[in-house]
């Protein structure tokens, strides 16, 4: 077994870390405070190749492996969860479905701008009454002549309601299967389509500088060729998309845990009480040891899952495990980090406060921790 990263992967970590420190760190607090999505910063992330990392250069992607992409997300998350969310959703949820399931015409039409960071694309799955229970979806699509007519709504959709949003992939009910269950299909809906409305959501606890939208479809008509794949493929496409997305969320948990740990370790070495750095006290040192150990374990699990995906081997169980473990590791690390900072950890001037808030979404988004345990239980035969 070889645990060494390639020269290219090491370079990606170095360059993305340098970018995050230089471009994101100085403004992360301000963007969070103002709840401001930054198009300028997003385009800069596109310029250094953070979109379309796993996409073939045929569609102007970077043509890299999945581990390289995950390292990119990890290094952004180490500084700011909001910008990492933009990258993770832009790739796994926006670009991914079009790249893996789209027609050649769809790929050539949409992917170049998405891979360059010129535009973003959302993935409309969650609804007001359908979160963990995707079967509770009510959005419908009916074929009328040469057009699909879509009606319904979506909520909590990342990258779906900003000035860079070029469109969304929306899952809708298109019929009933033989077993009586709904048939799902996915459609590409461009921004500006008549009847399609996207509204940005604010007053969030976390990822306040990430764009989140509510989507409304009122007799939205799209050409019949805007279907993604074949009619009835939507459920499979959703599951496949979420499998890859779990790796992205896992990477955000890993990077966020690393960032919170770095802040705690630095603070503990410089904060003095009783005439010595608090890192010298066993109670603090042991917290830091536990953090370092869990981060190491999380990285090994996540990278293994990505390695399996790169090798085109079954990785779904490991993806669910990595998403679950990395999310909860960040929870424990962020909690320790705030505790180590004491009262200062509760103040917005200290970045650790933002890490503490940003973590919670990871245990909820793209499958709650409870759902991940359910998914894993099925893989182990429960």
CA–CA distance, 312 with 308 (Å, rounded to integer): 6
Q: Which of 12, 76, 17, 69 is nearest to 42 (CA)?
A: 76
CA–CA distance, 250 with 190 (Å, rounded to integer): 29
Whole-angstrom Cα Rg for the chain: 21
Q: What number of helices (H) and strands (E) belong to the chain?
A: 12, 10
CA–CA distance, 317 with 378 (Å, rounded to integer): 9
Catalytic, 366? Answer: yes
List, in order, residues 6 or more apart from 235 with CB less than 8 Å away.
Answer: 134, 184
DSSP string, 130-194: BSS-GGG---EEEEETTEEEEEEEEEEEETSSSTTEEEEEEEEEEEE-TTSPEEEEEEEEETT-T
CA–CA distance, 121 with 228 (Å, rounded to integer): 14
Q: Which of 35, 160, 16, 124 is nearest to 74 (CA)?
A: 16
* Token pair listed for 130: 């359908």
Active-site residue, selected from the candidate residues 23, 74, 318, 366:
366
CA–CA distance, 61 with 303 (Å, rounded to integer): 22
What amino acid positions are annotated as catalytic residues?
Answer: 366
């Amino acid at each position: 077994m070889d645990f060494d990263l390639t020269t290219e992967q090491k370079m990606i970590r170095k360059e993305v870390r340098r970018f995050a420190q230089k471009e994101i760190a100085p403004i992360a607090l301000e963007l969070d405070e103002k709840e401001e999505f930054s198009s300028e910063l997003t385009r800069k992330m596109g310029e250094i190749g953070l979109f379309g990392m796993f996409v073939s250069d045929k569609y102007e992607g970077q043509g890299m492996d999945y581990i390289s992409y995950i390292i990119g997300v990890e290094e952004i998350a180490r500084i700011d969860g909001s910008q990492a969310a933009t990258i993770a959703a832009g790739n796994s949820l926006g670009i991914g479905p079009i790249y893996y399931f789209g027609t050649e015409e769809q790929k050539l039409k949409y992917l170049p701008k998405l891979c360059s960071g010129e535009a973003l694309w959302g993935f409309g799955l969650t609804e007001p009454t359908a979160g963990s229970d995707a079967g509770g979806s009510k959005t419908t699509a009916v074929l009328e002549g040469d057009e699909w007519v879509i009606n319904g709504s979506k909520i909590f959709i990342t990258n779906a309601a900003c000035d860079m949003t070029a469109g969304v992939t929306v899952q809708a009910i298109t019929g009933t299967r033989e077993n009586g269950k709904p048939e799902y299909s996915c459609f590409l809906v461009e921004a500006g389509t008549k009847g399609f409305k996207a509204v940005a959501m604010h007053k969030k606890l976390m990822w306040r500088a990430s764009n989140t939208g509510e989507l409304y479809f009122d007799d939205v008509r799209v050409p019949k060729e805007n279907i993604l794949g074949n009619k009835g493929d939507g459920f499979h496409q959703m599951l496949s998309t979420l499998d890859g997305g779990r790796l992205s969320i896992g990477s955000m948990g890993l990077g966020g845990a690393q960032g919170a740990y770095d802040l705690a370790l630095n603070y503990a070495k410089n904060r003095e009480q009783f005439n010595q750095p608090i890192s010298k006290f066993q109670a603090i040192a042991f917290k830091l040891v536990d953090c370092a150990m869990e981060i190491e374990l999380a990285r090994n699990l996540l990278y293994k899952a990505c390695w399996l995906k790169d090798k085109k081997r079954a990785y779904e169980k490991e993806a669910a495990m990595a998403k679950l473990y990395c999310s909860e590791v960040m929870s424990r690390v962020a909690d320790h980090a705030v505790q180590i900072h004491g009262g200062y950890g509760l103040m917005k001037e200290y970045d650790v406060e933002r890490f503490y808030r940003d973590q919670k979404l990871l245990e909820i988004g793209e499958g709650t921790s409870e759902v991940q345990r359910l998914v894993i239980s099925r893989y182990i035969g429960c």
